[in-house]
Structure 1
Amino acid sequence: MSWKNWVLLVVLALVWGATFPFGKIALGEIPPFVLAFLRVVLAALVLHAVLRIYGLAFPRDRSTLGAFLLMGLLNNAIPFSLILWGQTGISASLASILNATTPIFTVLVASLLFHQEVLRAHRVAGIAVGFAGVALLLLPGLEAGALAGLVGEPAWAQLLCLGAALSYAFAAAFARRFRGVPVMVAATGQLTGSSLLLLPLALWQASTVPGGWSPAMAGPAAWASVAALGTACTAFAYLIYFRLLSEGGATNASLVTLLIPVSATLISALLLGEALSGLQLAGMGVLLAGLVLLDGRVLAVFGGSRRPAGSDPR
């Protein structure tokens, strides 16, 4: 990649890494499903404005709109809600590490369920090592009483974040439906769809808060975090990601998965004073090693190949 692509990659990792501490800050005063809705609807509004600026038409046929709804469900509504719900029980740093399992679930779903990819030896090794890292992360939460949230970071909250990663995997498999659709249109469509899906859930949760939740109950820090989540961490991040995809290729863009947990941990330490335990650091290291194996490029270098078989040629 060019130096500009590397800059884009680092910026994207920082922006997406900041999603987790910003979410943690906002969750102090905004319910998780309400926050998920605010994030996607703000991002959708921004991207609709971008479409108008670039003169891109938004599809209105029933088939495409239905696909936007399903993609919005799998790629935004479910994972955003589960991650934010999970963050009510665990740290932002740990949530970001668990989210890094997305490529592992993606390979499993694409190869075993949809037969879209070949499950090569290095990928099997990467999956095994990656799940060993997940086991280390879950271990403290599975201690006696942790399932009830009595000690450590509860397992139920960690499992919610893993559920979000699994939803992202199904979204990646379904995303092939949008070949031929401009990526900016697809992003705007799925965010619009997820906004419609999350609206009733957000209204329901706001009504279940004792006394009812209202926007006046959130302070400046929470609303600043909402603004950052919707604009920078979602709309702006999509713009960066799609440019990186077009210029650097999907394989190079996927490197952001390795960087997000690191950036999220550093930003969470600065903003929230969070610190990972020794076992969590070990789990993160093992998980990232699994992702490196899954990617295959390091093995290809040692094997004398310039790029792994089946990777993006760009």
Structure 2
Amino acid sequence: MSTPRLVAVTALAPAVWGTTYAVTTEFLPPGRPLFTALVRALPAGLLLVAVTRTLPGGGWWWRAAVLGTLNIGMFFPLLFLSAYRLPGGVAAVLGALQPLIVAALTRAALRENVPVHRVLAGIAATAGVCLVVLRADAALDAVGVAAGLLGAAGMAAGLVLTRMWGKPDGVSDLALTGWQLTAGGLLIAPLTFVVEGMPSTLDGAAVGGYLWLGLVGTAVAYTLWFRGVARLPALRVSLLGALSPLTAALLGWLALGQALSPLQLTGFALALTATVLGQLPAPPVLRPRTRPVRPDDRRPEISRRT
């Protein structure tokens, strides 16, 4: 698969995640963040493990547990905690900081050069998301802010580790995704039963919403996401995350009748443009310049006395 096509397919994941807000508010029972996280992760993970009939081997047992904890088991509850304690716009902005965290971790853990234009794209995309989702009366909550930042940092670390570890030979993207979803779901399960318990009833709309989030929003989307992470630079993939709040805003306008002001439209265009430019090679002005070696620059050879 060509790189542009791989980027486009990977971008489908955050675009699908952008439907989570509309599905949650319109179809799911309120006040059930942990149960929603559990239903998203564990059934999808078990389904992928059953379909692929592949279990981790050797050191991949603990690696799958670590990745599942960072990408799913820790991220989902913190995401919902942040969303419940903060206005949606503030929570989205905290999530949009992930590319900058990925840039720092890429440099520290992978020892890879971080292209300047992608860092600038991450800053511009975050600014654009701020314009789209933030409101002047947005209130801050210390616990919510801490949860949002910790969730973004955890998923950023999971993204970098996924890139660093790759996957075992002969193991499919579906299997690796299934391992992580199962590990994360098993971590969420006891928290769900202790803190929330099971909902008393679920109507048809809720069942349909959970099926969408579990099958499409999790099993399919995370498979596409981890596939891209394994084949593309981590920072390049993380920049695509801005598509999630942008999709949520677009759906709110198209399906829920939420108006978009000129300032929000400007932010939308800024974030989308920055995300696209972040996928392109560095422009010549930002590439390191090298001067051709001239004959005068070469060190003279020192003859050895005989």
Give the unaligned 5+ runs of structure 2.
Answer: 289-306
Partner residue of 1:58 out of 55, 60, 81: 55
Distance 1:291 1:279 in 2: 18
Alignment match, 1:312:
none
Letter in 1 for 2:113: V
SS of the equivalent of 1:114 reads helix
SS of the equivalent of 1:297 reads coil
- 1:228-239 superposed matches below 5 A: 228-239=212-223
Partner residue of 2:161 out of 163, 174, 192: 174
User: In the alignment, is the contact (CA less than 8 A) between 2:14 and 2:243 conserved in 1?
Assistant: yes
Distance 1:4 1:134 in 2: 25
Q: Kindly provide the CA deviation profile for residues 256-284 of structure 1, in whole angstroms up to 9, marking residues without a partner as x.
A: 44543333322233444444555555444
CA distance 1:133–1:263, shift in 2 (3 Å): closer
Alignment match, 1:297:
280
SS of the equivalent of 1:192 reads helix
Q: Which of structures 1 and 2 has the bigger CA Rg?
A: 2
Letter in 2 for 1:106: V
Distance 1:68 1:80 in 2: 16
Alignment match, 2:124:
129
Give the unaligned 5+ runs of structure 1.
Answer: 149-154, 207-212, 310-314
Distance 2:16 2:48 in 1: 17
Distance 1:141 1:240 in 2: 37
CA distance 1:129–1:11, shift in 2 (3 Å): closer
Q: Kindly provide the CA deviation profile for residues 71-101 of structure 1, in whole angstroms up to 9, marking residues without a partner as x.
A: 1111012222222233335676775565344
SS of the equivalent of 1:140 reads coil
Partner residue of 1:185 out of 146, 150, 175: 175
Letter in 2 for 1:164: G
SS of the equivalent of 2:200 reads helix
Alignment match, 1:209:
none
Alignment match, 1:15:
16
User: In the alignment, is the contact (CA less than 8 A) between 1:20 and 1:96 conserved in 2?
Assistant: no
SS of the equivalent of 1:147 reads coil
CA distance 1:58–1:9, shift in 2 (3 Å): closer
Partner residue of 1:147 out of 110, 119, 140: 140
Alignment match, 1:201:
191
Distance 1:256 1:218 in 2: 34
- 1:268-287 superposed matches below 5 A: 268-276=252-260, 279-287=263-271
- 1:219-258 superposed matches below 5 A: 219-241=203-225, 250=232, 256-257=240-241
Q: Deviation at 1:187?
A: 1.2
Partner residue of 1:76 out of 72, 79, 87: 72
Distance 2:123 2:23 in 1: 32
Aligned residues: 281
User: In the alignment, is the contact (CA less than 8 A) between 1:73 and 1:194 conserved in 2?
Assistant: yes
RMSD: 3.8
Q: Deviation at 1:245?
A: 7.2
Q: Deviation at 1:194?
A: 0.5
SS of the equivalent of 2:30 reads coil
User: In the alignment, is the contact (CA less than 8 A) between 1:30 and 1:222 conserved in 2?
Assistant: no
Q: Kindly provide the CA deviation profile for residues 94-127 of structure 1, in whole angstroms up to 9, marking residues without a partner as x.
A: 755653443232112222x325322343244334
Alignment match, 1:266:
250
Distance 2:118 2:237 in 1: 18
CA distance 1:228–1:186, shift in 2 (3 Å): same
Q: Kindly provide the CA deviation profile for residues 197-238 of structure 1, in whole angstroms up to 9, marking residues without a partner as x.
A: 1111111221xxxxxx43324433222211111111111223
SS of the equivalent of 2:74 reads helix
Give % identity.
Answer: 27
TM-score by length of structure 1 reads 0.71
Distance 2:227 2:151 in 1: 25
User: In the alignment, is the contact (CA less than 8 A) between 1:93 and 1:264 conserved in 2?
Assistant: no
TM-score by length of structure 2 reads 0.72
User: In the alignment, is the contact (CA less than 8 A) between 2:86 and 2:140 conserved in 1?
Assistant: no
